[in-house]
Structure 1
């Protein structure tokens, strides 16, 4: 486990204070609509290919995704890498060999990314193990964890005119601050990569830990931000704030329902996008309740739109749910199957992003792997 300096922990617990929500927080002009309906390839499209690897992003491009969605961790030696989990899970990666015969950290599987160097991570095979819930995944034995810069470089090779959009998440767990770098250092290291990339203006920055959104907006107000939320991260004990929401208490907002208050809270941190889960995770929906049994509701979408935010739910892998939420005029969909959702969007007459030449993508993949 990474042990943060006491002063850093103290700063994180004291630096993200908010005034009470006001109408000024809640009202904002409507933002312009995207050129294409936003089909986001979740982790590159993990339903189709090994997640979060260069092959997964290659197939996201081939499948015509508008946006590549991915997650960042930071290694012990301070490198921003593309991986979803805080630790290396045995169901996703396998050890090959240590970087030195007497490396005390070997085996690396099971260790936190924050406790491993980039060189140690690069020994892992993260392309051979097909996930049990995704039986159609293409495997790419030997595929490695990439740095964020390596992913940018690969996609730029396939997309020289820089048309691709990005949705990049910080993997910070608000409940366990010692498992990753602190919020400020995490955000700063990501931002350093963003500003050196030709894709800077195409990046949306998202997080469940809303402190990261506040920190990124403070660092660079021009970066589009997205507030991730589900029933777990929105939950709080009576009279307290969820640790995920940067000190905000949903009960302090004037909305008549939790769904409305979630949208208002996201607006209070100046998020440009609200990105709720479509499903419940820890709270089973009440079958006797009126309306949708999904976490995302029409009421939530309507309030977010009224406040000038877009709404892009995750992770939507069923077309019946796509049918439902599109009636509520959501602005995009994050999915493990971008090829399926893109095909559905074309059927509905929605404008979809053009696909990139497959041969060029494969040539770039060969070069960068």
Structure 2
């Protein structure tokens, strides 16, 4: 009986495709519960590489989540960090003999050209926190265009959804490209892609969300927020979260995101923070009141990065509209068990055939 009652609570979240609907048609994934593959699914495969997005497709993700950086020569690449980290990438050879920037590992993305960055081997090192990662020795950092081209090969009906972040540092403007450069360059690639209608644009730097909405009001935007940016106006387009009426901190966050016309609020799901009223009281960052207020204001809520199913259970019960996870295969299986409609998986043979072809290009 308890199981039946729980499913009844979940009834408002169930989404079913029409029997006559082509499950692989454009935007059909919007009919499925949003299981997002964080960096392609970094729990399973070396992150932010073509193989990681290949496995995100095979594992039946609704959405591929990724980050963008901009190189010295203005190319938009798919990479999470503002620099090249030693634990993720290895140097191979310099682009030219006696290149003064070599070795490239340890340098900022903004200070390296695309040619320099694509000499790096970012597929040979398994991350300590992700012991199940599949390695793909020799895997390179791709451009956003290259990721779109590879996925279009594996996804000819263009049904996959995207959640694409600008990796900008609001505190240190000299470490990354600026707001307008990110927005203009990313939007140009979005607009020319067959996935234009399927892209959510997200950022911790809310200035970029405001700029993107001004450039193209049709683009869906997602406001990222965590304990580091919560009370930092430089991240939140000058807003002070505690200036909103509340009454709870979660409701204030939702109201702040609504003030910049965000379509989605994407808070961290696993962090505990002190209560502003009573520091001895510990609060969850993502709460029922945050989700309720966001929904009241017409926004969806998609927390990150959820790798525990007990947390996923709680978020779903509260009404979260999606889950961003390092393990999309596990979360998809969980979502299916809850009675939620899940996206179809992609055929391995086609995905791997496209992967082999496109790995040779990057």
TM-score scaled to structure 1, two decimals? 0.87
Q: Does 1:340 align with 2:330?
A: yes
Q: Does 1:90 align with 2:80?
A: no
Cα distance between partner residues in 1 of 2:217 and 2:113:
31
Q: Does 1:58 align with 2:51?
A: no
Partner of 2:10: none
Q: Does 1:259 align with 2:250?
A: yes
Q: Does 1:360 align with 2:350?
A: yes
Partner of 1:299: 289
Q: Choose which of 127, 133, 141 in structure 1 pairs with 2:123.
A: 127
Q: Choose which of 307, 315, 325 in structure 2 pairs with 1:325.
A: 315
TM-score scaled to structure 2, two decimals? 0.89
Q: Contact 2:205–2:236 at 8 Å: present in 1 too?
A: yes
C-alpha spacing 1:141/1:320, structure 2 compared with 1 (3 Å):
same
- Deviation, structure 1 residue 74: 0.4
Cα distance between partner residues in 2 of 1:235 and 1:254:
15
Cα distance between partner residues in 1 of 2:148 and 2:227:
32
- Deviation, structure 1 residue 356: 0.9
- Classify the secondary structure of the residue corresponding to 2:324: strand
Moved over 2 A (4+): 283-290
Cα distance between partner residues in 1 of 2:116 and 2:268:
33
Q: Deviations over 1:80-106 (max 9, x none)?
A: 000000000000000001011110000
Partner of 2:235: 244
- Deviation, structure 1 residue 288: 6.4
Q: Contact 2:231–2:240 at 8 Å: present in 1 too?
A: no
Q: Choose which of 64, 67, 91 in structure 2 pairs with 1:68.
A: 64
Q: Provide the aligned length of Structure 1 versus Structure 2.
A: 329
User: What pairs with 1:100-139 in structure 2 (closer than 5 Å)?
Assistant: 100-139=96-135
Cα distance between partner residues in 2 of 1:186 and 1:275:
20
Q: Choose which of 255, 263, 274 in structure 2 pairs with 1:272.
A: 263
Cα distance between partner residues in 1 of 2:357 and 2:44:
22
Cα distance between partner residues in 2 of 1:145 and 1:294:
35
- RMSD between aligned alpha carbons? 1.4
Q: Does 1:209 align with 2:205?
A: yes
Structure 2 gaps of 5+ residues are: 1-14, 16-29
- Deviation, structure 1 residue 151: 0.1
Cα distance between partner residues in 1 of 2:229 and 2:210:
16
- Deviation, structure 1 residue 122: 0.7
- Classify the secondary structure of the residue corresponding to 1:367: helix
Cα distance between partner residues in 1 of 2:271 and 2:152:
37
Cα distance between partner residues in 2 of 1:361 and 1:205:
25
Q: Does 1:226 align with 2:222?
A: yes
Q: Does 1:170 align with 2:172?
A: no
- Classify the secondary structure of the residue corresponding to 2:97: coil
Cα distance between partner residues in 2 of 1:348 and 1:259:
26
Partner of 1:312: 302
Cα distance between partner residues in 2 of 1:284 and 1:250:
15
Cα distance between partner residues in 2 of 1:161 and 1:203:
15
Q: Contact 2:46–2:52 at 8 Å: present in 1 too?
A: yes
C-alpha spacing 1:320/1:260, structure 2 compared with 1 (3 Å):
same
Q: Contact 2:274–2:281 at 8 Å: present in 1 too?
A: no
- Deviation, structure 1 residue 252: 2.1
Partner of 1:6: none
- Deviation, structure 1 residue 235: 2.0
- Classify the secondary structure of the residue corresponding to 2:64: strand
Cα distance between partner residues in 2 of 1:127 and 1:304:
39
Cα distance between partner residues in 1 of 2:98 and 2:330:
47
- Classify the secondary structure of the residue corresponding to 1:134: coil
Q: Does 1:349 align with 2:345?
A: no
Partner of 1:78: 74
